[in-house]
Amino acid sequence: MKRKNTLGAVIGSLIGTLSLSVLAQGQGAVEVEVFGKRYFTDSTRNMDDGNLLGGSIGYFLTEDLELALSYGEYHDLNGDAPVNKDIKGSAAGLDAIYHFGEPGPGLRPYLSAGAAHQSISNTFTSGRDHTTQGLLGAGLKYYFTENFYARGGVDGIYNFDRGDSEWMAGVGVGVNFGGSQKAEPAPAPVAEVCADSDNDGVCDNVDKCPDTPANVTVDADGCPAVAEVVRVELDVKFDFDKSKVKEESYGDIKNLADFMNQYPATSTTVEGHSDSVGPDAYNQKLSERRANAVREVLVNQYGVGGERVNAVGYGESKPVADNATADGRAVNRRVEAEVEAQAK
């Protein structure tokens, strides 16, 4: 009964997270998983190989690095002697997990390292047997969607208190949710249009410019607004060796899209750049991927016509800061764009 209750609570928590309205991978995301592992024990303890069933919850410090707490209970750890025929126990651990590849649907390999505390009973020792374990692991996660994944992996185990080694192989399923939300910019001010409620052909209640025609854009004084050139610029920064648009850049990209949608005759070229780390040919491709990533957000997410947005990469050929410093390289990992229009 205890086994069913424990697994039921973990599975219930997993299913409950699927109903959350905010789902996103990336920095700040949380992953909840249920797992089953085959535990291959050290032969000196005369125990059969058993199973570890449980769950974990993790938090992404960056889009690649996750800290995960886990808890599992052992089953089927039977031994050869009457005193250890029905071995019970549990393990609680903390792992740092580094993921490779870009967040999103698809395959993400990982490496992990951590520590666990194991407690089992009905062994040859009197009372419970406690040991501290060091863990090293590797495996693959496959994200079927942005948020739902399956995992398979192996873990090497070193028991510090006994000086022996064991290992586990297991699978799991989980969900990823709660990453950084897109920052929504403040709405653009709406231009004021002069009204003519008495139908005399001129603006109502205008003191400084009493002859202002009706239905024209006016300034704060009610006078016809002078046409001027207006401009919006975009500067999106990227992490090292990454082409994924960061969550905090979506607001700036939406500002550019809103401007272009307000002035439908405009077009732009988004220009991708890299720092100087790595081969020239690789950095050229990386800059092109960055430019295309920003273009896709403008076109697919914010509705700018694809024929109005061109993307080009310049590699490391146009630095704006010193590539000899980390701060300078961070500035050079960018995508730029600008749009001009004549305001009416």
CA distance 289 to 301: 17
The identity of residue 73, as a single letter, is E
Tokens coding 124: 């040859």
Tokens coding 137: 């692991």
Beta bridge partners of 240: none
Q: What is the pLDDT of residues 51-81, one digit of tens each?
A: 999 999 999 999 899 999 999 998 877 765 5
* Least confident window among 132-136, 163-167, 180-184, 226-230: 180-184
21, pLDDT greater than 80: no
Tokens coding 335: 């995508």
200, pLDDT greater than 90: no
Alpha-carbon torsion angle 287, 292, 293, 294, nearest 10 = 100
Nearest to 50 by CA among 69, 62, 37: 37
Task: Answer positive or negative: Cα dihedral of 124, 125, 126, 131.
Answer: negative
Q: Does domain 2-177 have CATH number 2.40.160.20?
A: yes
CA distance 337 to 325: 25
Q: What is the pLDDT of residues 101-117, one digit of tens each?
A: 888 889 999 999 999 99
Identify the pLDDT of residue 33.
96
Identify the pLDDT of residue 233.
86
Place of tokens 């997990």: 97
CA distance 259 to 272: 21
Nearest to 35 by CA among 158, 138, 151, 139: 151
Nearest to 219 by CA among 232, 208, 231: 208
Mean pLDDT of the residues in the chain: 81
8, pLDDT greater than 70: no
Identify the pLDDT of residue 259.
85
Q: Which runs of consecutive H residues, i.e. helices, occur in the chain? A: 2-17, 250-262, 280-296, 326-332
> What does the domain layout of the chain look like in residue ranges?
2-177, 182-226, 228-343
What is the DSSP annotation of 39-52?
Answer: EE--GGG-B--EEE
Q: Which class would CATH give 228-343?
A: alpha beta
Identify the pLDDT of residue 153.
96
Alpha-carbon torsion angle 183, 301, 30, 140, nearest 10 = -150
Nearest to 294 by CA among 315, 269, 258: 269
- Give the confidence band of 95 by pLDDT, cuts at 50, 70, 90: very high
Q: How many CB atoms lie within 10 A of CB 141?
A: 22
Place of tokens 């600008």: 338
